Structure 1
Amino acid sequence: MRDGSLLPHDDDADIAYLSTFTQPADVAIEAFSVGNRLAELGYEVQRHSATHMQLLFRDEAEVVIHYIDVFAAFFTSDGHINQPFHVRGRMRVDQMLPFGTVSIEGAEFPAPADTDRWLTLNYDERWREPIPGFVLQTPDETRKLFDGWFGGFNFQREFWDERFISQRMSESEDTWKHGADWIAAQNLTSPTLLDLGSGSGGLSARLSSPRRRVIACDYSSEALYLARMSGLETSHVNLYRLNSLTAPRRLGIGTPFDVASNHLLEQVGHLGRANAFRLARMALRSGGSAVATAYANPAHDVNQLDPTTWHLDQSDLRAHAREFGLVVEFTDLDPGPHEEDRAPYGVVFTLNTHPYQRKDLSVKQRLRQLFLRARSRGNAAELDTLRERVSELETELTDIRRDNLRVAELIDLAEQALMPTEPSTGPQRPRTVRPGQEAE
Structure 2
Amino acid sequence: MHFPAAFTGSADVFFGDHRGWSFSAEKPGKTDVSWPKRLRPFLNGWSDVRVVTAEGKTLFANRVVFTDDDSPVTMRDQHGLPLIVDKWGLLQRPFDTRPEGLLGLLADESLRIIDVLENVCGVRAWISFGTLLGAARQGKGIGHDSDVDLCYLSEKATPAQMQRELWEIARALRAAGMRLQMRTGSFLTVQLDTPDGAGAGIDVYTTFFFDGNFYETATVRTPVARDELLPLKPMEFEGRTLPAPADHAKILEISYGPNWRVPDPSFRHQPGPEVEQRFDGWFGKFWRQRREWQAFNREGASRRPGPSAFAQDVAARLAPGTRVLDIGTGAGDDALHFAGSGFQTVAFDYALPARRAWPEVAGLSRVTLNFYDLRDVMSRGALVSRHEGEQAVYARQLLEALAPVGRDQFWALAAMALRRGGTIHLESQAWSRPSIGRRGEELGGRVWPTGPEDARRAAQAIGGVVRSEDGTAEAERTIEARSVLPPATWRMTIDIPARGGHPA
Q: TM-score, normalised by structure 1?
A: 0.69
**Superposed counterparts of 1:194-343, under 5 Å:** 194-208=325-339, 212-222=343-353, 225-227=356-358, 229=360, 232-242=364-374, 243-250=376-383, 253-256=386-389, 257-298=391-432, 300=435, 302-304=438-440, 306-307=444-445, 311-324=449-462, 326-332=464-470, 341-343=486-488
Query: Which has the bigger relative contact order, CA under 8 A and spacing at least 6?
Result: 1
- Going from structure 1 to structure 2, the CA distance change for 1:44 and 1:189 (only over 3 Å counts) comes to farther
Q: 1:170 is matched with which residue? A: 303
Letter in structure 1 aligned against 2:439: N
Q: Is the 8 A contact 2:206 2:217 kept in 1?
A: yes
Q: Is the 8 A contact 1:50 1:150 kept in 2?
A: yes
- Provide Cα deviations, 1:382-429, integer angstroms capped at 9, x if missing partner: 9xx78xxxxxxxxxxxxxxxxxxxxxxxxxxxxxxxxxxxxxxxxxxx
Q: Residue 164 of structure 1: SS of its match in structure 2?
A: helix
| Cα drift, residue 142 of structure 1 | 0.9
* Uncovered stretches (5+) of structure 1, i.e. residues with no partner: 355-380, 387-440
- Going from structure 1 to structure 2, the CA distance change for 1:309 and 1:235 (only over 3 Å counts) comes to closer
Letter in structure 2 aligned against 1:344: T
Q: Is the 8 A contact 1:191 1:255 kept in 2?
A: no
Q: Residue 282 of structure 1: SS of its match in structure 2?
A: helix
Q: 2:263 is matched with which residue? A: 130
Q: 1:9 is matched with which residue? A: 144
- Provide Cα deviations, 1:45-94, integer angstroms capped at 9, x if missing partner: 22221111112223699x64211111111111x01111212122111222
Q: 2:491 is matched with which residue? A: 346
Alignment identity in percent? 27
Q: Is the 8 A contact 1:268 1:307 kept in 2?
A: no
Q: Residue 189 of structure 2: SS of its match in structure 1?
A: strand
Q: Is the 8 A contact 1:22 1:74 kept in 2?
A: no
Q: Is 1:89 aligned to 2:222, yes or no?
A: yes
| Cα drift, residue 188 of structure 1 | 5.1
| Cα drift, residue 343 of structure 1 | 2.9
- Going from structure 1 to structure 2, the CA distance change for 1:102 and 1:226 (only over 3 Å counts) comes to same
Please identify which structure carries the higher strand content: 2
- Going from structure 1 to structure 2, the CA distance change for 1:43 and 1:322 (only over 3 Å counts) comes to farther
Q: 1:25 is matched with which residue? A: 160
- Going from structure 1 to structure 2, the CA distance change for 1:250 and 1:107 (only over 3 Å counts) comes to same
**Superposed counterparts of 1:283-432, under 5 Å:** 283-298=417-432, 300=435, 302-304=438-440, 306-307=444-445, 311-324=449-462, 326-332=464-470, 341-351=486-496
- Going from structure 1 to structure 2, the CA distance change for 1:248 and 1:35 (only over 3 Å counts) comes to same
Q: Is the 8 A contact 2:421 2:496 kept in 1?
A: no
Pairing partner for 2:206 from 50, 54, 72: 72
Task: Name the CA distance, whole Å, in 2 between partners of 1:234 and 1:248.
Answer: 15
- Provide Cα deviations, 1:350-401, integer angstroms capped at 9, x if missing partner: 45899xxxxxxxxxxxxxxxxxxxxxxxxxx99xx78xxxxxxxxxxxxxxx
Deviates more, 1:40-49 or 1:232-241: 40-49
Deviates more, 1:82-91 or 1:1-10: 1-10
Q: 2:311 is matched with which residue? A: 180
Deviates more, 1:106-115 or 1:18-27: 106-115
Q: Is the 8 A contact 1:218 1:224 kept in 2?
A: no
Letter in structure 2 aligned against 1:319: R
- Going from structure 1 to structure 2, the CA distance change for 1:314 and 1:250 (only over 3 Å counts) comes to closer
- Going from structure 1 to structure 2, the CA distance change for 1:108 and 1:261 (only over 3 Å counts) comes to same
Q: 1:43 is matched with which residue? A: 178
Q: Is the 8 A contact 1:200 1:224 kept in 2?
A: no
Task: Name the CA distance, whole Å, in 1 between partners of 2:209 and 2:449.
Answer: 41
| Cα drift, residue 186 of structure 1 | 3.8
Pairing partner for 1:159 from 292, 296, 308: 292
- Going from structure 1 to structure 2, the CA distance change for 1:271 and 1:229 (only over 3 Å counts) comes to farther
Please identify which structure carries the higher helix content: 1
Pairing partner for 1:110 from 218, 238, 243: 243
Count of aligned positions: 350
| Cα drift, residue 198 of structure 1 | 1.1
Q: 1:435 is matched with which residue? A: none
For the pair shown, the structure with the greater C-alpha radius of gyration is 2
Cα-Cα RMSD: 3.4
Q: Is the 8 A contact 2:400 2:447 kept in 1?
A: no
Q: TM-score, normalised by structure 2?
A: 0.61
- Going from structure 1 to structure 2, the CA distance change for 1:326 and 1:258 (only over 3 Å counts) comes to same
- Going from structure 1 to structure 2, the CA distance change for 1:296 and 1:5 (only over 3 Å counts) comes to closer
Q: Is the 8 A contact 2:331 2:352 kept in 1?
A: no
- Going from structure 1 to structure 2, the CA distance change for 1:22 and 1:128 (only over 3 Å counts) comes to farther
| Cα drift, residue 116 of structure 1 | 2.4
Task: Name the CA distance, whole Å, in 2 between partners of 1:214 and 1:195.
Answer: 7
Letter in structure 2 aligned against 1:317: A
- Going from structure 1 to structure 2, the CA distance change for 1:180 and 1:223 (only over 3 Å counts) comes to farther
